[in-house]
A = this chain, B = another copy of it.
Amino acid sequence: MQNALMPNLLTKRAFLTPDRVAVYFDDKQLTFKELYNQSLNTAGKFQGRGIQKGQYVGVLLKNNLDTVVILFALQLLGVRAVILNNRLTSSELVWQLKDSQAASLITEGSFADKDLEIRDMLPTLPTLLKEQLDSLPTEIPDILEEINLEDVCTIMYTSGTTGNPKGVMQTYGNHWWSSVGSALNLGFIDTDCWLCSVPLFHISGYSILMRSVIYGMPVVLHESFDVEKTIQDFHSKRVTIMSVVGNMLTRIIEFLGEEPLPEYFRCFLLGGGPAPLPLLEACVAKNIPVFQTYGMTETSSQIVTLSPEYSISKLGSAGKPLFPSEVQIKLEDGQKAKEGEAGEIFVKGPNVTSGYLNRPGAMLDKVHDGWFSTGDIGYLDEEGFLYVIDRRSDLIISGGENVYPAEIEAVLLSHPDVMDAGVTSREDERWGQVPIAFIVQRDGRSTAEELEQFCLKRLAKYKVPKDFYFVEELPRNASNKLLRRMLGK
Contacts and interface: CB of A to CB of B under 8 A. Distances in A.
Contact of A323 (B149, B214, B349, B367): B214
A1 B308 CA distance: 29
A215 interface: yes
Contact of A1 (B1, B307, B309, B348): B348
Contact of A189 (B187, B215, B352): B187
B307 A17 contact: yes
Nearest to A9: B323
A19 interface: yes
A183 interface: yes
A16 interface: yes
A12 B20 CA distance: 34
Contacts of A323: 7, 12-13, 16, 214
A354 B1 contact: yes
Contact of A15 (B19, B188, B320): B320
Given A16-B323, A184-B183, A1 B350 contact: yes
Contacts of A324: 6-7
A180 interface: yes
A384 interface: yes
A190 interface: yes
Nearest to A190: B187
Contact of A188 (B19, B188, B367): B188
Interface string A137-150: 00000000000011
A447 interface: no
B188 A3 contact: no
A282 to B, nearest CB: 24
A173 interface: yes
Copies of this chain, how many? 2
Contacts of A188: 183-184, 187-189
A438 interface: no
B184 A149 contact: no
A352 B12 contact: no
Given A7-B326, A320-B16, A189 B189 contact: yes
Nearest to A192: B187
Contacts of A352: 1
A206 interface: no
A384 B173 CA distance: 26
Contacts of A349: 1
A319 to B, nearest CB: 9
Interface string A342-353: 000000111011
A54 interface: no
Contact of A350 (B3, B15, B308, B320): B3
A370 interface: yes
B370 A2 contact: yes
Nearest to A326: B7
A301 to B, nearest CB: 15
A387 interface: no
A72 interface: no
Enumerate the 8 nearest inter-chain pairs by beta-carbon distance, A residue then B residue, closest first: A187-B189, A1-B352, A3-B350, A189-B189, A187-B188, A187-B190, A6-B324, A180-B180
10 contacts: A1-B348, A1-B349, A1-B354, A7-B323, A13-B323, A16-B320, A183-B183, A184-B215, A187-B188, A189-B189
Given A7-B323, A15-B384, A183-B188, 7 more contacts: A2-B370, A3-B173, A12-B323, A184-B188, A187-B187, A187-B190, A190-B308
